[in-house]
Structure formats: C-alpha cells, structure tokens
Structure 1
Amino acid sequence: MVFSLPKRLFSCSSLLRNRAIIYTSNGPVTQALSIITYQPLPPPPPNTINIKFILAPINPADLNTIEGVYPSKPSLSSNLSSSGKGSKDEPVFVAGNEGLAEVVDVGEGVSGLEKGTWVVMDKPQVGTWATSRNVGVKDVIRLPFGKLNGLSEAHGATMTVNPTTAYNMLDSFIQLSEGDWIIQNGANSAVGKLVIQIAKIRGLKTINFVRSRDNLSELVKELEKLGATKVLTYDDLYDKSIRGKVKEWTGGKDIRLALNCVGGEPAAAIAKLLGSNAHLVSYGAMSKKPLSLPTSLFIFKNLTSHGFWQTRWSKENSRHKKAALIGTLAEWMTQGKLKAPDHENLTIFRHDSDEEATQKVRETLRRVAEGKVGKKVLFKLEDVNA
C-alpha cells in the first residue's frame, strides 16, 4: 500500500532550513549577536502566514534595541527549534524591526493574502533579520504594488520607518498648503531627504541645514536635485543675517513648521526663525544634547513643541489608515517621486557557516555603529539546504 502526504507539506519553505540573527541578552552588537540555523517552517496555523524575507535594513534603532536602550522591546521566540537556541528551553530574540517579505504559505482563515504577495511589517520588532518566519495575519500589511509595477526591493524593505516618519511629520501637526515653507536640520539624513521629496510632491518649499564638509557642493546639488529649495550650513544658521535672508526668500510669509533631529543649539536656532503659532517637531537628538528653547518663543510667538515617534503613531492609528499611507508611499515610489535610499546589500550566503556568518554580521554592525558606512545596509539571508 502506498501512502501520499498532503501537497502543502512539499512547499518550498518546508524543504529548506532557515537562519536568523539572534541575541539572548542585551549588549554591544559586536558581542550580543550571533547567527543560528533552525528547522524548516511547518505549515502555518490558522490565521497566520509563513513569510520569506527578501531584504531587511539596519536602522539606528535596531542597534539601540539590541543594546537595550530603545523603548520598543521585542518578544522572545521559542518556536524556531525543538532543542537548543530558539527552543522553549532556550528562547531568543530575533533582531530586526523593518523589512520586505513575500508570502510563501497561508493558514486557514486567511483572506486577502496569497502566495507571492509582498508584505511589510505592521507589528514592531517582529524579527526581520531572518530567512523565514511565521507571523499573524495582522502583523503585516499587503503592498498594493510589486516588482512588476516598478517597486524595488529596496523601496519595500525601507518603507515603514523613514518614509512614514517624514510623511506624518508633514501631515500631523499643522495644515500646510502649496507654497508654504518648512525648515529642518539634519537635512541630509534619511528622513531629511524624504522630507524634501515629499514636500516637493506637495508643493511645499524647504529650508534645509546640514553640517559643513569638504564635499558640501556635492551634497547641496544632491539635495537640490531631490527638491530642496534652499540648502545651508549651521554656520549660515548662526549668522546674524539669516533672519533677513529667510524673510526675503519667503516674501515675509511665516514659517510654521520646523523639524528637528539634532537637538541642542541647532534646534533652538531654527525655532527662532519660526513665525507665530508655529510647531517644532523633534524626532531625534543626534547631537545628544538637550532641547533648550527660549521662553520668549512660547510667550510671544505661541510656539508649540512636539515629539514624534513613528512606533507610537503606528500603535495609535488603525490598520486601514496605515495601509492607506503605505499605499500612497508605494505609489509615489513606483512613479519615481521617492528615491530608494543609497544602499548596499549584505548577503549571508548558504555556504557560510554559522560562525563565518556571525563574524560577517558583527563586523558590518561595528562599522555601522562607528558611522563608517555611508549607505543604508540591507540584510539578505539565504536559507540553507535541509
């Protein structure tokens, strides 16, 4: 007698072992992280899907999370292996918050997602630095566009953190109309460049401040090509003539929105250029210095100061609203209105041993942490033959 097994047991995901970049306790990225190989994924339980990650970026917050100094915390994973690391006896944290994945299998009760669909993460700290994971259907958002529509893998992998932050800061605090001006520091950061591009799409004008550097003219040209109206250095910001120049550029129109990712004096200096009833939105503190603003700005100009964290926005808003935002951003990307970040891929090959792969990951993250990588690094982990 010949017995046959259900066809779904022969899915690609069940024939290949997986890999993940994991840690068991917080610490320096060059010590805490390692790579493990774990068992093939079984068919997904009801209301879940099996996904295969295509690319997953390294963001500064990922390093902070591993170090234990970031407020968003991952959950332990205990279903990767039946024994050893990743098992119930030795649960682990899988690193990575953002990434692009493809659906490879769907569980009973799942609708609107099918094999081959591209998805991005809706739940924070899913653990995207892996080959494949099983996740809840509500942990992901379906992308309305894919490669055939002109959406690149790099676009999809980096969609849910920086582009959404830029969009929401321009949209959430004050109603801006075409022709209005905004001002920002850290304009050459990933978010800063996206602010410039989204502002251009909306017909907004931008005054952008960056650090002085040897290749300043090249950076100015790059930002202007993205749509920046004015690009200046912090030396210009502290010059006494800046107020008159800004008034001339804007035609005397009040600037009502400033975006700050630096903190310290650069934040206070751009706040002083704002008009009445304006909003200062802080989403970072690269200088690691506190925000110190003149009391007069609050008394006489009615300044409002906010903090913005995309993770909080995501928790407070509906899946429908988040999916609509992702759809808007994806459409702009396919139209060429939003560039993918300058990036390089780090591939963990299937022939790399776990030890070799661990050293490769640690060395890359060391360079990222020390600021020696000028591009966004995207992980691509290959699965391993069973």
Structure 2
Amino acid sequence: MLAAPINPSDINRIEGVYPVRPPMPAVGGYEGVGEVHAIGSAVKGLSAGDWVIPSPPSSGTWQTYVVKEQTVWHKIDKRTPMEYAATVTVNPLSALRMLEDFVALKSGDTIVQNGATSIVGQCVIQLARLHGIHSINIIRDRAGSDEAKANLQQLGADEVFTESQLEVKNVRGLLGNIPEPVLGFNCVGGNAASLILKFLKQGGTMVTYGGMSKKPITVSTSAFIFKELTLKGFWLQRWMSSDKAEECRSMIDYLLGLCRDGKLKYEFEVAPFDDFHTALEKAMGKKGRQPKQVLKF
C-alpha cells in the first residue's frame, strides 16, 4: 500500500456502529492506492510496479502489504497524484452518483447542499459546475468561515451561506437570478437539513447521505403537503454491491482524469503512517476541523 485515507465510515466500523462489519480480527481502512509488489502465476494484465486501487473498495487498506485476488484490484494511470488515487472512491464517487441518480439535472438547474466544505461537498460544487449546474452551499458558523467561503467560491460555488445568514423567513430572496434548487444534499441533519428544505422548490428532492450532527431530520407538514418534497437516502456501499463493478471502475477513471487535468481538487493532509495516532485524532475531530487525513505508508 502507498496511501489510504481515514474516512468517518472507517472510524464507525472500528466503533462497531456501521451496518457492515468485517470478520474479526480485522484491519481498518476501506480505500487506498497500492503498487503491485508480486503476482501469482495465473495473473494476467497486471505487473510489478503497476498502481492499483481496490474497486469496489475492500476492507484492510491500513497496512503495508495486502494479498488479495486479482479481481479486487483496478489498475490506474500512474500519472495520477497519489493522494487523489487513494481517496477517489468513497467521496468523489458519492458526489458523482448523487448528482446523476435522483433528479435528471440539466444545465441551468440548481442544487443546494450543507456540509459544503467536506470532500463530497467540494466535489459536488466542481462536478456541478462542469455541467452548468448552479450550487448553493451552506456551512457552519465558525472561526474562519470567511476563508471557507472564499475557497468554495474559488472552486465554483455560486453562493455560500453560513447557517445564521439563513435565519430569515424568505431564503428565496437571497438567490437573486439563481433558480430555486430542484435537488438538495444533506450530510448534517438537524437544523442544517431544515435549511435545505427551505431552499428547495416545489416538488424538489432532498438526499441524505450522512448525519454529522447526530440530530434527526425534522420536516414540517407544509413541506410535504404544499411543496410536495421528496426525501431519499444514499449509501454508496449499497450502490456498489448491486453488480456495478465495471460501471464503478469507468467512473473512477473519469474522476481521476479530472484530477490529473486539475478540474477536480479537494483539501487533504498527508500524514506518515508512523504518526497515525495524530492523524486519527484529527480525523475524529479532537483537534477541531481538519482536512481529510491521508496516511502515507
């Protein structure tokens, strides 16, 4: 293994609260990038020195050597920056699937999301812009929010609001010439999810793919009756387990191509594997908000 990230779902697996649990004892880590060290006599199409990622993702990437069947590994272009190869599957692929799977978006449409500073959020902004789709982005009120706004706008965000800025009766008045969103993404829950619902146009859809606040989603009766909103959930692992291995790999190649071309980028911090304790504390939020932690072996 060359590099692997620490994702919230990795931590949830270790805590025993994730709905899918590997057989014990187990090694952590679900995605990453490795270099082929040796191959069995029956292996075709791979050679020592090739770069590969587990696709669909596979448990046990937080270790220096992994031995698995050839079918687990997907060969990628070695020109890809290592950190992007290590992190492409879970977050960028989630962003791409959510943009394509729930509403038939077209150029000129608008999406709204909370958790916009996350890697999924950053990817949603850039992938949407590539297709002419506007994005409205909601972030938490915290120190450094002005800098966070500027960073997201640099990625292509049309509008970025802190939650407190949306404590108004008519959020539509904040949008100017941007159309009302037809699709929303929620990874926070609680009040942040309610703000998504306020923005959505009649007949709009909110997709929930996380619950960082650990607070439930509360929906007003009028949102269901008068706005006819639809609420759905997205779990990448379920999508990938439904016989979509080849489709998954072609999309990963597409996303890695965008990374190589500088059209898709996101924030991360590389940590040496020997210092995984610090990286883990950062990933668990014990040192305030931190970039995605990527372990380099």
Shorter-chain TM-score range: over 0.9
2: CA distance between counterparts of 1:133 and 1:210? 38
Q: Is the 8 A contact 1:118 1:142 kept in 2?
A: yes
Distance, in Å, in 1 between the alignment partners of 2:18 and 2:244 is 24
Question: How many angstroms does 1:125 deviate by?
Answer: 4.1
What percentage of residue pairs aligned between the two structures are identical?
A: 39
Aligned-residue offset at 1:206: 0.5
Paired residues for 1:72-221 under 5 Å:
72-76=20-24, 92-143=25-76, 145-147=77-79, 151-221=80-150
Deviating above 4 A after TM superposition, structure 1's stretches of 4 or more consecutive aligned residues are none
Kept in 1: contact 2:122–2:266 (CA 8 A) = no
User: After superposition, where does 1:1-386 map in structure 2 within 5 Å?
Assistant: 53-76=1-24, 92-143=25-76, 145-147=77-79, 151-246=80-175, 248-250=176-178, 253-348=179-274, 360-372=275-287, 374-381=290-297
How far 1:325 moved relative to its partner? 0.6
Q: Please state which structure has a larger fraction of its residues in strand.
A: 1
Q: Partners of 2:282 and 2:167 in 1: how far apart? A: 32
8 Å Cα contact 1:74-1:125 kept in structure 2: no
Partner of 1:46: none
Question: Which has the larger displacement, 280-289 or 206-215?
Answer: 206-215
**Preserved CA contact (<8 Å) 1:236 1:242:** no
Structure 1: state its 5+ residue gaps: 1-52, 77-91, 349-359, 382-386
Supply the distance in 2 between the matched residues of 1:249 and 1:236 (Cα, whole angstroms).
18
For 1:340 and 1:218, the matched residues in 2 are separated by: 15
Residue 194 of structure 1 and its aligned partner are, at CA, apart by 1.1
Distance 1:170 1:249 in 2: 22
What's the CA shift for 1:106?
2.1
SS at match of 2:237: helix
Distance in 2, Cα, partners of 1:263 & 1:276: 21
Letter in 2 for 1:65: R
Q: Distance in 2 between matches of 1:164 and 1:199?
A: 13
Count of aligned pairs = 296
Contact kept, 8 Å, 1:95 with 1:125, in 2: the verdict is: no
* Partner SS state of residue 99, structure 1: coil
- Between the aligned partners of 2:60 and 2:5, the Cα distance in structure 1 is 12
The amino acid that maps onto 2:61 is T
Please give the TM-score of this superposition, normalised by the length of structure 1: 0.73
> 1:154·1:341 contact (CA, 8 Å) conserved in 2?
no
Distance 1:210 1:316 in 2: 33
Give the TM-score taking structure 2 as reference length: 0.94
Higher radius of gyration, 1 or 2: 1
1:228-253 Cα distance to aligned partner (Å, 9 max, x none): 0001110122222422223x332xx3
